Structure 1
Amino acid sequence: MNREVRTERRYHAPRLVCIAILLYWVVGASSLIRRDVLPELGFVRPPDLRTIASAEENAEPSSWSVEVIDNPLSPETRRIVGTASTTSSRKPEGGFEITSTVAFNAGGLLRGTPLSNDSDSRLEVGSHYQIDPAGNLQSFTASVRSDGDPDDLLTITGTRHKRKLKVVCRGQLPLFNQTRTLDYEPRSLVQNALGPFDRLPGLQVGQKWETQMVSPFTGRIETVGVDVSRRCVIHWDNSPVTVLEVVHQMTPLSSRTWVRPDGLVLRQEVPFPFVKLVLERIPSRRTPPGLEVPGR
């Protein structure tokens, strides 16, 4: 009997850690839905689903490492805790399909935070977008799964009908079970923050636009300012690379994305409480040292 109780406790502990991560994601990142409007300096439209999917169409699948910055004073020193991949393909009728998968070690992600633990459980976040030939979202799904758990921790589905987007959220806690109907602007973005886009074409320094960020978990809506702030140089693939730095401002968090002038996304920060999380493109699908055992 005691052995059964201990086994049950071992089973539930990683599950509670994963649910705790979801709760902090809800409070801190506060969104999986993004709606773009015209930039304030309206000389160029910001990237939308059509331009993003078209730019990715003939590209090979991209791979990313999920990395944590433990010391903000040393941002180039990062710990690898997982991997991500993105693919895009054209459908026979002319539309597009974008898919992304992110897998990371929950214990490695939270190391050094108030939620730190020795759990080896892994979380997998999957996203799937269906885009029509005009560049409008048809539907999307996003799910969060923990290894060893037969059911998804969280599933979000979105279906567009004309200028309305119905979002249904289902999870293992009552907090997650909600349905929302949102206004949808033509060709506007819907993005999972942990599902990186491969490319953001057409950026120029000085572009600014606002994004309405809506949480299907809580119904909370907040405005995010997006600014292509400057041209700078970062170190990537063992070489200096000129990039455009895109800043996303959201209370109380902010994040940055670094995009090569041809639109290729090289690096992006993910807003997450307690943790400086970065998605780093893996050059030519190479596997960096340590990636086989994330979080160790």
Structure 2
Amino acid sequence: MARLVVAASGLRGSLGLLVAARARERGHEVAELTDLRDREGVLAALAGADAVVLVPRRGNAWQHAHGAVVTLTAAAAAVRATPHLVLLSSFATGHGPMHPLNRTDPALLPGRTAAEREARSGRLPYTIVRPVWFSDDPAGSHALTFTQDPRTDGMIARADLAATLVAAAEEPAARGTTFALYNEPGPPLTEWAAAFAALRRDADDADDADDAESREAGPEAGPAEGFAADPATALVSEGRPAAGRGRDTALDSGPRDQPRVGGAPGPVPRPAPTSPTGGTLA
């Protein structure tokens, strides 16, 4: 049994609640964080934590994704903890600025990219999960495929995604990886360790070239007030402007021969980048 922190909005029916429920089913002690501005609550939750699953709430990605990663990392340092950080991102991050989802809000892609980069460059072990469109299919109804193709698309059951986030927190083989996942016909995934072990490590992509387009100006949020000597207002306001850094280097250099785990051999499905019937991202 491990101590697992779920940082999410806490709304009824949200993915964060599914993650917390799955973790409890697996026998873990679970602490739920719904307000990263509550300094004492955050510090208490992270003290002795083995893993943190971050499900950023909707809205400003600079605050709720990047700022949350910075806050959790700073809080972990304050209590001398090194939990495994599992960050929920989005498949649209791999598609780049031309994907319709990234064009709905000019801050969405830069904020998510900055959150991923912050996780990779931070002091905590991490896993970054990029789900595709959500469905409400029952858990285990389909096969589950992991891919590191940056242009992937498809659908994923929320329950299967929650199971994956908890499995990533449990399995050392998931550390240092970024991957997308989707459902397809077939039996459910049961060999989690083997699935994570088949993925390419992000460190293998460390020499990929920077892209100026990913360094668009944006208010990179600092940790929530009280977690650093120079506190910003992450998760409260736009945060303090800071110079953009280089882009993240995993899953951004175009399609390659990628490991596909959990599904039948064949090309990664790439339907048009619009939500299939019933698919959502929330």
Tell me which protein shows more strand as a share of its residues.
1
| TM-score normalised by structure 2 residue count | 0.25
Structure having the larger proportion of residues in helix: 2
TM-score by length of 1: 0.24
